[in-house]
Structures are given as C-alpha cells and as structure tokens.
Amino acid sequence: MTRISDPHALPGADPHTGNRRIDPVTGYDTTGHDWGGIQELNTPFPKIATIALLLTFLYSVVAWVLLPAWPTGRDYTRGLWGLDQGRMARDGFQAVDAVRQGWLSRFIDPDFAALASDDLLMAQAMPAAARLFADNCAACHGTSGSGGPGFPALDDADWLWGGEPEIVAETIALGINAADDSRVAEMPVFDWLEPADRQALAAYVAGLPQGNAPADSPAAILFAENCAACHGDGGTGGLLAGAPSLTDHSVLYGQDEAAILSTLRHGRRGIMPAWSQRLSPAEINLLAFYVSTLPEAKP
C-alpha cells in the first residue's frame, strides 16, 4: 500500500483542473489520498446540517430570553414568559384536591345510608376508596380484601368485630392490639390443658364448619367451659371479644387440627394497625363504607 500525500506528485493529474483530481463518478474533488487505489472524496459539510445547527442555535437564543434558563447563584433567569412548571403542578394539584375535599367532606360525619343512595357521589368516592384501600390496606388484606393466613378476609360476611360501616370505622381508627386504646383481641394460651383434652378440642373445633362436631361429647363440654365465653355457644362467634366464629368456613389461622393445636398451645394475638393518626376521619369513614360493601361486591 502506498500512501501518497502530495497531489502535486501525482502522475496523471488533470491538465484542465491543475493539480485537482476530480472523481469521475461523483464529480467531487478528491483529497489526493490514495489507499491502494481507493481515493477519499473531498465532500463538503452537508448544507442541511449547517442549517440545522443554525436553527438550534437561534432557538437556544430565543429560549434563553423567553424561558427560565441560566442559574444566577441562588436564583435563575426567569425568562420573559415567566413559566414555572413547579407552580403549575402545585396549582393543578390544589384544584384536584379542592374537588376531592368537596365530596370527601360529606364523609366527615356521615349518614351512610343517605350517602349510599347518592349515585353521583358514589361514582367519585368508590374509585377513590379503592385506591386508598390499595395504598394502605391491600398489603395485608389483599387487593380485593380477600385476606390471607393471619389476615382476615374483609369481603365475606364473617366479621370479628362487625361489618356495619360505623363499627368498621372504629376498627380502622383504633386498630386491634396495636395501641393503648386499640380493640383488644387475644386468644389465650391453653398449654395448661391436658394434651388429650387439647387433642379432643382440636378434633371438635375442626369438625365445627362441617357441622359434624358431636354436641354432647366431652369435647363439647370442654368447649362450653373454656371457649364459649369468647367464641359463643357452639363456637358461633363472639363479636364483643373479636373472637372469630369457628363454625363458618372463613378462617384466620387455619381450622385443621394441626393449626388449632398450635393456636391452643401458643395463643394468638393478631395486630391491625391503628389509622387515626395516619388517615383523616373522613378518609377512615370512606374506607369503612367501602369495606362494608365488599361482601356484596364479591363476585
């Protein structure tokens, strides 16, 4: 490969163009560089790119004048238009919030039955309630409120404390076993019972949902003596102690014998956080109303 850098030395230079060598295909000058027969064209910088550069430069000058542009220490040049997207966002948010506070204020001291029959209000409130639920409650109770092990389902009609919106609002505000003024729900430890008695009780309780727990067995008597005070006669539930019904299919920790034996040996004390410090009273009432409608809404 020979690299010839001096076009003057080139043999066969065109007599009409002096020492310039014109590429016969494109008509452009060549730079005179020749790499083993491959020559480099001396193509001019594209005009369109020059124009684009010029336009962008002009735009930047206009933008500096009209829009916020240069930092000046603690401040910045605001531009003739005085645009402030931070303020625009705040204004937009305040406008949305004003509309929200408008309808939300009706939940401050609510007559739930009257609110439920206001279709226009419901159309705004229920989607907002669903979002509030997704943000604050779904992590434990599931997106649709269907619960999970240790976390009660809110979409069935089996309540620990009651499903009327007023009662649910109180549960949400106070929490359960969470703060000094919370609702208290404690399944005591029964490890002092004879293992045989615990086993008999576990078999009895496991049979309750199927309705095949013998009513006058020794285990039924044990249940009446030790458990009925909280769980109700025959285990039908005691809303005052937050003790679940043991006769339905809705379970908190499990109603097979192994889970019941574990419940009896170690006790249970589920914690539902208190929300009175985190949500406004109106939001709590809105959520309570939403939760109270979940069993009906369940497909």
| Interface ranges with ligand HEC (CB under 6 A) | 136-137, 139-141, 150-152, 154, 159-161, 168, 171-172, 176, 185-188, 190, 201, 205, 226-227, 229-231, 241-244, 246, 251-255, 260, 263-264, 268-273, 275, 287, 291
Quick one: 62 or 184, whose CB is closer to ligand HEC?
A: 184
Q: Which two tokens stand for residue 224?
A: 């009446």
Q: Beta-carbon neighbour count of residue 24 at 10 Å? A: 6
Dihedral through CA 233, CA 263, CA 253, CA 162, nearest 10? Answer: 40
Q: Do residues 23 and 39 lie in contact, with contact meaning Cβ atoms separated by under 8 Å?
A: yes
Shortest separation between residue 97's beta carbon and ligand HEC, angstroms = 20
Quick one: 30 or 285, whose CB is closer to ligand HEC?
A: 285
Quick one: 53 or 157, whose CB is closer to ligand HEC?
A: 157
Using Cβ positions, the residue closest to ligand HEC within the complex turns out to be 270
Q: Do residues 290 and 129 lie in contact, with contact meaning Cβ atoms separated by under 8 Å?
A: yes
Residue among 81, 79, 119, 83 nearest 103 (CA): 119
Q: Which two tokens stand for residue 64?
A: 């500096």
Shortest separation between residue 195's beta carbon and ligand HEC, angstroms = 13
Shortest separation between residue 102's beta carbon and ligand HEC, angstroms = 22
Shortest separation between residue 62's beta carbon and ligand HEC, angstroms = 51
Phi-psi region of 57 (alpha: psi -120 to 50; beta: other; left: phi over 0): alpha
Return d(Cα 186, Cα 164) in angstroms, integer: 22
Q: For residue 182, give every residue at least 6 positions away whose Cβ sits within 8 Å of its Cβ, in sequence order, or none.
A: 174, 175, 176, 272, 274
Shortest separation between residue 134's beta carbon and ligand HEC, angstroms = 10
Shortest separation between residue 67's beta carbon and ligand HEC, angstroms = 44
Q: Beta-carbon neighbour count of residue 221 at 10 Å? A: 12
Shortest separation between residue 270's beta carbon and ligand HEC, angstroms = 2
Return d(Cα 46, Cα 26) in angstroms, integer: 15
Quick one: 7 or 209, whose CB is closer to ligand HEC?
A: 209
Return d(Cα 269, Cα 263) in angstroms, integer: 10
Quick one: 65 or 189, whose CB is closer to ligand HEC?
A: 189
Quick one: 115 or 168, whose CB is closer to ligand HEC?
A: 168
Quick one: 30 or 132, whose CB is closer to ligand HEC?
A: 132
